[in-house]
Amino acid sequence: MDIGTFQKQMQTLYGERDRARGAERTFVWFTEECGELARAIFRERDAERMAHEFSDVLAWLASLANLAGVDLEQAAERYASGCPRCGEAPCHCPR
């Protein structure tokens, strides 16, 4: 599934709930999912659990983008030709 299709699916599945909850509370849920992802990566180190949490983070990010009116596919284009700062792939920006 491409990112645009995924974002549209999140709108179909959860758009009404997301609008009722609002952006601020949706952002709180998003950050909670980021915490769960961090635990899965750094404590549990279980591949299945990590994949589950990555999908949850992506879903909540898409919900936030929908509420903010941001097209994630267009936003991702910023990285399509390389690093947005130096234009290189891989990035050659000073660390």
Q: In this predicted model, what pLDDT tens digit does every residue of 81-91 receive, in sequence order?
A: 999 999 999 99
Domains parsed from the chain with CATH numbers:
3-79 (1.10.287.1080)
**pLDDT given for residue 74 in this prediction:** 97
pTM: 0.92
Q: Identify residue 95 by its one-letter amino acid code.
A: R
Name 50's Cβ contacts closer than 8 Å, sequence gap at least 6: 37, 40, 41, 44
Q: How many CA atoms lie within 13 A of 6 on its CB side?
A: 16
**pLDDT given for residue 72 in this prediction:** 98
Q: In this predicted model, what pLDDT tens digit does every residue of 11-65 receive, in sequence order?
A: 999 999 999 999 999 999 999 999 999 999 999 999 999 999 999 999 999 999 9
**pLDDT given for residue 82 in this prediction:** 96
